Amino acid sequence: MSTVGKVIKCKAAVAWAPNQPLVIEEIEVAPPQANEVRIKIVATGVCHTDLYHLFEGMNKKGFPVVLGHEGAGIVESVGPGVTEFQPGDKVIPLFVAQCRECRFCKSPKTNQCEKGWANKDYDVMSDAESRFTCRGQKVLQFMGTSTFSEYTVVEQLCVAKIDPAAPLDKVCLLGCGICTGYGAAVNTAKVEEGSSCAVFGLGAVGLAAVMGCKAAGAKRIIAVDTNPEKFDKAKIFGATDFVNPKDHSKPITEVLREMTNGGVDFSMECVGNVEVMRSALESTIKGWGVSVVVGWTNMHDFSARPITLISGRTWKGSFFGGFKSKDGVPLMVKAYLNNKVKVDEFITHNMSLDQVNDAIELMKHGKCIRTVLAVSSQ
Ligand code: NAD
Ligand code: ZN
């Protein structure tokens, strides 16, 4: 029986409160309204930004919420005004919009679209924008997506149509972590051929940054992590040197400067820690060093000495790897299908949505790169 135009009752993992395990609930998903698309989520990754909202962000207003923003699925139905998508299309929901009309979309300098929900906020949609209810209560949507649910409703500005040949249980990771890290290296840092790079933090985002540095032709890629279990993977993605800050009595900045005759050309912080952001900046060489903040935090200020920048370094941030989302994600999917970027190598665990709390625990304890959750069958 067709579900078009009807409320869908389905399974979702609801985060009722900060620091609490998610609860598998039956939720109601309203039909898509004007310019919205209802998507059957097939698979989703678990990203550190989901954990940030749950454990670190202290956003008490951001609950109850359905987390998840690294998913892939199939269009179930579309709201009035949607011409770009049809039921059956394979899609990746996007946490950054691309309207193609605003001054930001028209500029090649940025991917910060001015339209859509994310213009107002970066983490949860408002009550009015969310299409979820559970136990008679409105449930918020995380990053405009909410992929820890069998169905979700997303603005059409925040959906990318992808190659029908793409395996959704793999390319879901292109909805966040891989594009974020890869793009931070190639789009934001603009890593150059023959350069030296340092990547701090070797989760999926950092490993993708390593992959981006390698694709850009970096000669030396120093992988930095306090968890040495991550180094084997970093090697697969192209890292040439491996440094555990805990193995050294000197500050990591000094270690890297000594290894590279004054500092690396490019560094990327993929941890989400303001101290590490400073170290990453100070590990770059004076004159032309570029450091990119990728790790996510809105909790603390960071600091550095002005002379660090006066002497010629550049400090930048990167949101979704600088990719214009609707344009970039299908291209990354194609690149994966053509064996130009790796995706399978990021997946260390496969589980079902019911096991989402186990997946969260694995990430919390540094025991996975990415867990892919099977959400619904195709
Ligand atoms: P993850 O938890 O899988 O990886 C983080 C890694 O950092 C771990 O390997 C951990 O051992 C390492 N680490 C911790 N402390 C360290 C230190 N002091 N020095 C070196 N390494 C250290 O997380 P992830 O999913 O790869 O995400 C990484 C960061 O990127 C998070 O902050 C996440 O929120 C952020 N993120 C940002 C964007 C964006 O658009 N800017 C998008 C997605 C994720
Ligand atoms: Zn993410």
Q: How many angstroms separate the alpha carbon of residue 139 from the centre of ligand 1?
A: 27
Non-local (6+) Cβ contacts of 261 within 8 A are: none
| Ligand 1 pocket list (CB less than 6 A) | 47-49, 52, 176-177, 180, 200-206, 224-227, 230, 245, 270-273, 276, 294-296, 318-320, 363, 366
Number of residues assigned to the chain = 378
Percentage of residues of the chain with pLDDT beyond 90: 93
- How far apart CA 283 and CA 6 sit, in angstroms, is 55
Look at residues 135, 136, 161, 132 and name the one whose alpha carbon lies nearest to residue 145: 132
Structure tokens, 111: 């991917």
Percentage of residues of the chain with pLDDT beyond 70: 100
Write the burial class of residue 119 (CB in 10 Å: 0-12 exposed, 13-18 middle, 19+ buried): middle
Q: How many angstroms separate the alpha carbon of residue 202 from the centre of ligand 1?
A: 7
What one-character-per-residue DSSP string does 160-222 give? EE--TTS-HHHHGGGGTHHHHHHHIIIIII---TT-EEEEE--SHHHHHHHHHHHHTT-SEEE
- How far apart CA 364 and CA 348 sit, in angstroms, is 14
Structure tokens, 296: 């996510």
- How far apart CA 229 and CA 242 sit, in angstroms, is 11
Look at residues 301, 302, 308, 307 and name the one whose alpha carbon lies nearest to residue 283: 308
- pLDDT tens digits, one per residue of 127-186: 889 999 999 999 999 999 999 999 999 999 999 999 999 999 999 999 999 999 999 999
Q: What is the mean pLDDT of the segment spanning 274-303?
A: 96
Write the burial class of residue 83 (CB in 10 Å: 0-12 exposed, 13-18 middle, 19+ buried): exposed
- pLDDT tens digits, one per residue of 28-73: 999 999 999 999 999 999 999 999 999 998 788 899 999 999 999 9
- Specify the residue for token string 């968890």: 227
Ligand closest to the CA atom of residue 122: 1
* pLDDT at position 120 over 90: no
The mean pLDDT value of the chain amounts to 96
Q: How many angstroms separate the alpha carbon of residue 98 from the centre of ligand 1?
A: 25
The residue nearest atom 12 of ligand 1, judged by CA position, is 201
- pLDDT tens digits, one per residue of 68-103: 999 999 999 999 999 999 999 999 999 999 999 999
Non-local (6+) Cβ contacts of 165 within 8 A are: 337
Structure tokens, 212: 């981006």
Q: What is the mean pLDDT of the segment spanning 326-349?
A: 98
pLDDT number for residue 116: 79
What one-character-per-residue DSSP string does 214-280 give? HHTT-SEEEEE-S-GGGHHHHHHHT--EEE-GGG-SS-HHHHHHHHTTS-BSEEEE-S--HHHHHHH
- pLDDT tens digits, one per residue of 345-355: 999 999 999 99
Pair type for strands 314-317 and 290-293 = parallel
| Ligand 1 atom nearest to CA at 317 | 41
State the DSSP code for 102. S
The residue nearest atom 29 of ligand 1, judged by CA position, is 295
pLDDT number for residue 179: 98
- How far apart CA 52 and CA 44 sit, in angstroms, is 17
pLDDT number for residue 28: 98
Q: What is the mean pLDDT of the segment spanning 363-375?
A: 97
Do 134 and 55 touch, CB atoms closer than 8 A? no
Q: Residue 126: pLDDT band by 50, 70, 90 thresholds?
A: confident
- Specify the residue for token string 């600088």: 322
pLDDT number for residue 49: 94
Q: Residue 208: pLDDT band by 50, 70, 90 thresholds?
A: very high
| Ligand 1 atom nearest to CA at 370 | 3
* pLDDT at position 230 over 80: yes
Q: What is the mean pLDDT of the segment spanning 186-215?
A: 98
The residue nearest atom 20 of ligand 1, judged by CA position, is 225
pLDDT number for residue 337: 98
- How far apart CA 353 and CA 149 sit, in angstroms, is 8
Q: What is the mean pLDDT of the segment spanning 244-269?
A: 98
Q: What is the mean pLDDT of the segment spanning 283-299?
A: 96
* pLDDT at position 336 over 80: yes
Do 178 and 346 touch, CB atoms closer than 8 A? yes
Do 102 and 113 touch, CB atoms closer than 8 A? yes
Non-local (6+) Cβ contacts of 323 within 8 A are: 111, 179, 183, 187, 329, 332
Q: Residue 122: pLDDT band by 50, 70, 90 thresholds?
A: confident
Pair type for strands 266-269 and 196-200 = parallel
In angstroms, the first-to-last Cα distance of the chain is 16
Lowest mean pLDDT across 120-124, 252-256, 259-263 = 120-124
By the CB criterion, residues less than 5 angstroms from ion ligand 2 are 47, 49, 176
Q: Residue 121: pLDDT band by 50, 70, 90 thresholds?
A: confident
